[in-house]
Structure 1
C-alpha cells in the first residue's frame, strides 16, 4: 500500500477561537501549538505544514501561576556592550498584553522555517473583539 501525503494546495485550514481569560499560559500554549502545527489532523506529516489558524481573545487576561507575575523575567540582548536587559512579566504585560502568550507559544514551536510560517497564523487580541468574524472561527473546547 502506497503512503499518501497531503499536497499544499489540498490542505484545508480551519479557524479556531480561544478565550484566554484566567487560563494558565503554558497549558493554553500547548493547545494552541497543537493546532498551529496540525498535530490533531489525520493527515499530519512532520515536514508538511498542515496547521490551522488560531484567534485568541482576552490574551491580556492569561493567568500566570504563583508569583511569576513579579519573578519571571524575559531577557533581551542588543549585541552591544552593556546591551543586556531583563524585564519582568508584569512590565511586559503592561507594555504589550499579547507578549506573554506569544512568547510561550513561540518557544514551544520547533526552531525551523515551518514555525516561522505557523506563528503567523496565531492572531492575538487583548480584548474580546476580533476582526475575523468572516472566517467563522469555531470555539476550541
Structure 2
C-alpha cells in the first residue's frame, strides 16, 4: 500500500470544512489544543506535515473561557515594543477583560510549529468575543472541545 501525500493539485485535500467552537466555560488549554489540531489538519487521514490540509475554525464566546488554578491573576502576557523600557505585561484577567480574542489566538499560535506554514494556518482561525460572527450563511460542523 502506498503512502498518501497531499499536493496542491489534489482537490480532496484542498476541501476545507468549517467548524464552529463555543468555548463558554471550557478550559483554555484544552480548547486551544483541539483547535490547533483541526487547524493543522491532524484530525484527517490526508494529513501531510509539509502541506496545509487543515480546516477553518470559528471560535465564539472567547470572553467566557475558563482557566484553572491561579492563572487568572498570575499568568502574564508580555509585549515588547523594541525600545528601551518598552516591555509591557498584562495579566490574563486584564487580557480577558480588554482583548479576549487575543488570549485564544496566542494559545493556539503557541501550539503550532513555528514557520511560514503555521502563519498560513493561523489565517484559518477566527475568534469572536461574543456569540455574533459574520459567517451566518456557512454550514458549520460543531466541534466539541
Give the secondary structure class of the aligned counterpart of 1:115: helix
1:97 and 2:100 are equivalent in the alignment: yes
Gaps of 5+ in 1: none
Where do 1:110-125 residues align within 5 Å?
Answer: 110-125=113-128
Q: CA–CA distance in 2 between the matches of 1:55 and 1:88? A: 25
Gaps of 5+ in 2: none
Match of 2:26 among 16, 23, 28: 23
Which deviates more, 41-50 or 76-85?
A: 76-85
User: Deviation above 4 Å: which 4+ runs of structure 1?
Assistant: none
Q: CA shift at 1:54, angstroms?
A: 0.4
Cross-structure match for 2:132: 129
Where do 1:3-82 residues align within 5 Å?
Answer: 3-9=3-9, 10=11, 11-82=14-85
1:107 and 2:110 are equivalent in the alignment: yes
TM-score by length of 1: 0.94
Match of 1:88 among 81, 86, 91: 91
Q: CA–CA distance in 2 between the matches of 1:18 and 1:61? A: 12
TM-score by length of 2: 0.92
